[in-house]
Amino acid sequence: MISKLNYTALSIGVFLSLFFAVAIFYDQQFLFAIPLALGALYFALFQTEEAFLALAFLTPLSFNIEEYVDGFGLYIPTEPLLFGLMLYLCALQIKVPFLNNKIFSHPIILSWFAILIWMFITAITSSNPIISFKFILSKLWFIIPMLLFGTYFFNESKNRIVFLWLFVIGTVLSILYTIGQHASFNFGEKESHWVMWPFFKDHTIYGAIVALVLPLVLILIFIKKNTPLIQMVLFSLLVIVLLGLYFSYTRAAWLSIFCAFIFGFLVHIKLNKKIIYGVLILGMLITYFKWDSIQMELARNKEEHTTEQFGERLQSAANVTTDASNLERINRWNCAIDMFKDRPIFGYGPGTFSFEYARFQQAKNLTIISTHNGDMGNAHSEYLSALSEMGFIGLILFALFVFVLFSTSIRLYHYYSWKERAQKALVMGIITALASYFIHAFLNNFLDTDKAAVPVFALCSFIVVLDVQRRRSMEFS
C-alpha cells in the first residue's frame, strides 16, 4: 500500500513530468517558471523562516524570465517568494500581531513610510498611473518582507549571521560562474559586459553587488574567532570576491568601494562632523566656481575604457568627451533634470522614467548607444530617478532616508565598546557595504531589482533591530 506521503510525492512527480513534457513539446520553456513560482509560494507559507533566509542565497542566482517572455519581467524564484511572504506575513500580522511596536516608530522605517506615501500621491498624478502603481507594488514586495518583517527574523543574532553567509555564498557562486565564462574569452573587456548573464543583466549591477558583498565577507572574518578551516574558507571567498570585482571591469564599483572604505575609516576615527560638513561645503563651492576649468580639464581626457589596464580604466571614468558610456549617463542625467523642470512638484510618476525620457533627449547629448525611442533603461542615478519621477519632495525624502540610515548606523557603531567586538564589527561592515551602494547610487539605480533591494533592505533591517535593542538596553541601564 502506498503511504499518503509517497502518494503525494508520486502525484507531484507525475504532474511535473507532464507539465515539463508539454512545455518542451510546444517549445515554451518559460512555463518552467510556473512550478518554481508555486514552490516558492509553498515555502513562503509553510516554511516561513527558512524561506526568508533562503532569499539571501537565491537572490544572486535568480534570473529574469523577461528573457523568455516578452513584456513580462519577473525574477525567479525570488519575486514570487517575496510576494508570497508579503501576503502571508501581512495577514498574520493583522490576525496575530507579532512585530515589536517600537519598530513602527523607528526613524528608518518612518522615512520609508513617508517615501511610500509620496509615491502613492505621485502615482495618482503620474503620466501613466498603471505603470506607477505596478512599480509601487513591486517596491512593496521588497520593502515589506525585507525591511519591515526582516526586523522579526533578524531579532535573533543567529539569523543575521546565517543570512550573511547565505548571501556571500550565493554571490560567490555567481562570481565563479562569471569568471568561468569570462576565462573562456580570455577575460576580454567587451565580454565582461554580458558573461554574468543570466544571473545579472550586465556588468554594472554585477559590479555593484560584488562591491557590496566585499565588506560582508570581512564581517564574517572579523566578527568572531573562527576555526582555522573556517578562516581558510573565508579567505578563499574573499579572494574570489576580489577577483570578481576586478574582472567586472566596473569603474563605478571600484570607485564606490574605495570611497566606502574611506568613509568607514572616517567613521571609525570619529572625525568631527563639522570638519566633514566643512569639507563637503568647500568642495561644492570649489566645484561651482571652478566648473568651467573642471570641464576643460575633463575635455582633455580622451581615455576610453576599451583597455583592460586598471589604472587606465579608472582614468576613463572621468572621460566625458569620447567615452560613450559616460556620455550616455550624462544624457540620462540631463533628461532627468529636464523632466524635473517640466514637473517639479510631483514628477512624472514612479517607474515612468524609461517611458518618458526619450522626448527630453537633446541632439547634442545623443551618443552612439542612445535610442530615439528611449527604451534603454533608467536614469542611472537613484537620486535623479527620484527627482524626475517624484519631484523635488521625492528627492528630499529619499535623501532623508539615506541621512537617517547612516546617522543611526554611525551612532550605533560608537555605542558599542571594544568588548562588544562582534556587534561593532557587524555594524562597521554594514556601514561600509551600504556606503558602497549609496555612493554607487549617484551613478546607477538598482533598487527596483531583487539583486540590490534584498541585500540593501536586509542590511537596513539589521540596523533597525540593533538600534531598537540599543534603546531597550539604555532604558534598563
Residue 367 has a pLDDT of 77
Phi, psi of 64 (to 5 degrees): -95, 120
Q: H/E element holding 454?
A: helix 450-476
Please choose, from the candidates 97, 107, 114, the residue with its C-alpha nearest in 3D space to the C-alpha of residue 149.
Answer: 97
pLDDT at 6: 47
Confidence at residue 190, expressed as pLDDT on a 0 to 100 scale = 86
Q: What distance in Å separates the CA atoms of residue 301 and residue 319, rounded to the nearest whole number?
A: 5
CA 324 from centre of chain:
25
Per-residue pLDDT of the chain (477 residues; tens, 9 = 90+): 344 444 554 555 555 556 656 665 555 655 666 666 666 667 666 788 998 999 999 999 998 877 666 656 788 889 988 988 999 999 999 999 999 999 999 999 999 999 999 999 999 999 999 999 999 999 999 999 999 999 999 999 999 999 999 999 999 999 999 999 999 999 988 888 899 998 999 999 999 999 999 999 999 998 888 889 999 999 999 999 999 999 999 988 999 999 999 999 999 988 776 676 676 677 666 655 655 565 555 555 544 444 455 555 545 444 444 456 778 888 898 899 999 999 999 999 999 999 999 899 888 777 777 776 655 678 889 999 999 999 999 999 999 999 999 999 999 999 998 888 889 999 999 999 999 999 999 889 999 999 999 999 999 999 999 999 998 888 766
Give the Cα separation of 310 and 296 in Å (integer): 24
Cα 340 from Cα 384, distance rounded (Å) = 9
In which residue are the cell numbers 533566509 written?
53
Task: Give the number of residues written for the chain.
Answer: 477
Helix then strand then coil, in percent of the chain rounded to 5, is 75, 0, 25
Domain locations in the chain as residue ranges: 9-98, 103-477
